[in-house]
Structure 1
Amino acid sequence: MTNTDPTHVLLVEDNPSDARLIAEYFKEQTWPEIEESEPEITHVERLSAAVDACDDTVDIVLLDLGLPDSSGLETLDTMVEGASAVPVVVLTGLDDERVGIDAVEHGAQDYLVKDDITPNLLQRTLRYAIERERQQRQLSQRNEELALLNQIVRHDIKNDVAIILGWGEGLEDHVDPTGEEYLEHIMSAGNHITDIAETVGDFLDVLEGNSDPDLRPIDIERVLTNEIEKARSAHDSVTVRLADEIPSGLRVAATELVSSLFRNLLNNAVTHNDKETPEITVSVDVHDETVQFHVADNGPGVPDSQKQEVFGRGEMGLESPGTGIGLYLVDTLAEMYDGSVTLSDNDPEGSVFTVTLSQW
């Protein structure tokens, strides 16, 4: 549709009186920002006919939920799928806010109660629906482009860092004692860059995944043991110990991304530790229906006023109360698994992050 073309409305309504009334409403007020005084209307009475008629010339669909060949939200689901990128506004005779909310959750741009429709309300609703759909398509396209760029950049960064770390390992036997310290810093920074790239990738997987994930039994002994070993290998100067043996066969309701949850908790405990020898203790408490995982450190701790802020989208920096994307990912994953993560003080110093997950 251009600014000089009439808007093409597909009206799906089996009640002739309602269809005529809506057509009259379009005539009572000039359609904004176009030369024609009223839109072009294609009227059909059945859902099957609407799906067939919804081609690339249609700008918006006005959909009655109760039709001869379909009723309720199934009507909307079928229309949204058949309409592709065409916005849908639901018409309902039920003065029920829940109906409208459900319709929007199922993909409608908006809804109108027939008894409340006025010419101005009808035209304003359709105009806004068309604009919202256009903006959503643009945003979706940008997100796809950014996701692809992110994937390419992370791939290149990880490859280059792997090469740097390989060269660094080759130098270990060829540097004098003075250079060992500098080489250690280079290797530590390289591993940190790799961790960041992996965390960003995991975070994007969460954002792009289903908001209601398919939880399944995860062998937490395998996951936690593996992440502790990774932390020990990546940070030679850090002591990471397991307070008690993890019960064999213990499973929690989660997804494979739960490994990222523990990896980021361990990395956080190392990164924000100001001791010459950082110490991290991992312990597990098994309850009747839940499991609690405690990651305790001997770092500087977190003031009470900032304990909630550390889980936000904090910027990494000296002046920031947040700790970056890592803890935000931890909090997001815990919530996605119907669990929780809390922060408390360690005794005598440091912090304790406690993650609670459901047993399978």
Structure 2
Amino acid sequence: MTETSSLDVLLLEDNPDEAVLVERVVRGSGAIESRGQDAIVNVGEWHHAVSLEEAVDVLGRTSVDIVLSDLMVPDSRGVDTIATLVGHAPTVPIIALTSHDETVAGTQTIEAGAQDYIAKGQVESELVGRAIRYAIQRKQHELELVEANRRLALLNRIIGHDVQREMSVAVGRAGQLGTQMDADDTEAFESLNDALENVVKFTDAAADVVTLVEQGAEDALESRSIDAIVEAEVDRFTREHPTVEFSVDGTESEATVLATPMLGSVFEHLFAEAIRHHDHEHPRPHVAIADDDESVTVTIQGEGVALSDGQEAFLNAQGTPPEAARRMRTGLYLATTAIEQLGGTISVTPGPEIVVALERSLESDE
């Protein structure tokens, strides 16, 4: 069944002939069809302003769905017109109407906040209708991204500051109580303290996941030496875990990959997985770096327990049973998410052996 809705339009245009033409084209036969969807959008209220001041007044007292704006009006010139409209109606999509020779200015209107621009000489029904539909869709997507980022920022603050602070207090208090425990309570207290320390680790990993998603894969993306990243994380991990004895091969390749600073944190979590639940006094994980013309591979051979079927299936994209997914460790999830965002792959086999493959940066050969 076809659904019908209305679209309220504000046109900012001081030339009366141009205004009549644009209104006639937009109204067309009386409807703007959303092709590929069972919907027809009728033009509802039509507001016409001949100056920026008048347009701002309309936006202040009336809700509109789309703004069509000339760049040159009596009280404003160029992209400043768009910037002012965006400032007064940040949630309303705007399409700039430019003159024939204003292609550069049209591009600048996008940078100023418009969703699209149309040269006045190209104003015709199908083009304008399509531009309006796409402008509304793009604006809705933009607003959804803004809201998602706002929620991520809030979650990051809660996990990265509030929860971590309270957990630090809890661990500190537990340490104080440990000195006052009776012998009979020692085992229960140690179990509680281990659980608190695990929660701290999970919280740190969760904060890394939220930061990763919030920043996006392209944030601070640059060519980085895989050797330097791995060596730095091996050194750091060894300082924090003095009983671990790493062996590393292949650090003379000088290969680089496109990555963010988060890649170091990825290897930190993978090293922890490699020795999780080991039964050796001095676990000896092995790290090997290999590269070819197209990719760089880092293989981590550990001495931890074998992964469950569900964990292995998850990391190898084979589908995870619901119960196994709930038990998936946060560090592994962080590593998988980060590597996928960088366009790489990660696979895990019992042992465990963890293989990370990343695309080699073109700057490697420079």
Taking structure 1 as the reference length, what is the TM-score of the superposition?
0.65
Paired position in structure 2 for 1:8: 10
> For residues 236-251 of structure 1, what are the structure 2 equivalents within 5 Å?
240-244=244-248, 247=251
> For residues 31-180 of structure 1, what are the structure 2 equivalents within 5 Å?
32=41, 35-36=44-45, 38=46, 40=48, 44=70, 49-54=77-82, 55-56=84-85, 59-63=92-96, 67-71=100-104, 75-76=106-107, 78-83=108-113, 87-91=114-118, 117-118=125-126, 122-123=128-129, 126=132, 129-130=135-136, 133-134=139-140, 136-137=142-143, 140-141=146-147, 143-175=149-181, 178-180=184-186
* Residue number among 208, 232, 236 corresponding to 1:226 in the alignment: 236
Verify the 8 A CA contact 1:334 1:341 in the aligned structure 2. yes
Paired residue secondary structure (1:293) = strand
Paired residue secondary structure (2:332) = helix
Paired position in structure 2 for 1:340: 345
Paired residue secondary structure (2:325) = coil
Identical pairs, percent: 18
Please give the alpha-carbon distance, in whole angstroms, between the structure 1 residues aligned to 2:158 and 2:321: 23
Q: Which amino acid aligns with 2:285?
A: T
Verify the 8 A CA contact 2:315 2:348 in the aligned structure 1. no
Paired position in structure 2 for 1:282: 286
Paired residue secondary structure (1:7) = strand
Verify the 8 A CA contact 1:158 1:194 in the aligned structure 2. yes
Please give the alpha-carbon distance, in whole angstroms, between the structure 1 residues aligned to 2:195 and 2:340: 30
Verify the 8 A CA contact 1:315 1:323 in the aligned structure 2. no
Q: Residues 45 and 136 of structure 1: is their aligned pair in 2 closer, same or farther, counting only changes over 3 Å?
A: closer
Verify the 8 A CA contact 1:46 1:68 in the aligned structure 2. no
Q: Tell me if 1:352 matches 2:353.
A: yes
Please give the alpha-carbon distance, in whole angstroms, between the structure 2 residues aligned to 1:288 and 1:4: 58
RMSD value, Cα: 4.7
1:226-270 Cα distance to aligned partner (Å, 9 max, x none)? 12443x37xxxxx74424478599785444322320232244456
User: How many pairs align?
Assistant: 312
Q: CA deviation at 1:91?
A: 4.2
Q: CA deviation at 1:343?
A: 1.7
Verify the 8 A CA contact 1:51 1:79 in the aligned structure 2. yes
Please give the alpha-carbon distance, in whole angstroms, between the structure 2 residues aligned to 1:251 and 1:174: 54
Q: Which amino acid aligns with 2:223?
A: L
Please give the alpha-carbon distance, in whole angstroms, between the structure 1 residues aligned to 2:254 and 2:190: 37
Q: CA deviation at 1:223?
A: 1.5
Paired residue secondary structure (2:302) = strand
1:200-236 Cα distance to aligned partner (Å, 9 max, x none)? 2222322232533123344432222212443x37xxx
| Gaps in structure 1 of 5+ consecutive residues | 94-112, 234-238
Q: Tell me if 1:189 matches 2:190.
A: no
Q: CA deviation at 1:135?
A: 6.1
Q: CA deviation at 1:309?
A: 2.2
Please give the alpha-carbon distance, in whole angstroms, between the structure 2 residues aligned to 1:353 and 1:68: 57
Paired position in structure 2 for 1:215: 223
Verify the 8 A CA contact 1:315 1:322 in the aligned structure 2. no
1:9-65 Cα distance to aligned partner (Å, 9 max, x none)? 458xxxx99x976442223316857753x4537663779944132233674433478
Q: Which amino acid aligns with 2:355?
A: T
* Residue number among 234, 256, 261 corresponding to 1:256 in the alignment: 261
Verify the 8 A CA contact 2:116 2:135 in the aligned structure 1. yes
Paired residue secondary structure (2:132) = helix
Q: Tell me if 1:200 matches 2:206.
A: yes
Q: Please, which moves more after superposition, 215-224 or 52-61?
A: 52-61
Q: CA deviation at 1:335?
A: 4.0
Q: Residues 4 and 292 of structure 1: is their aligned pair in 2 closer, same or farther, counting only changes over 3 Å?
A: closer
Q: Residues 35 and 228 of structure 1: is their aligned pair in 2 closer, same or farther, counting only changes over 3 Å?
A: same
Q: CA deviation at 1:187?
A: 2.6
Q: Residues 202 and 215 of structure 1: is their aligned pair in 2 closer, same or farther, counting only changes over 3 Å?
A: farther
Q: Residues 248 and 157 of structure 1: is their aligned pair in 2 closer, same or farther, counting only changes over 3 Å?
A: farther
Please give the alpha-carbon distance, in whole angstroms, between the structure 2 residues aligned to 1:249 and 1:168: 47
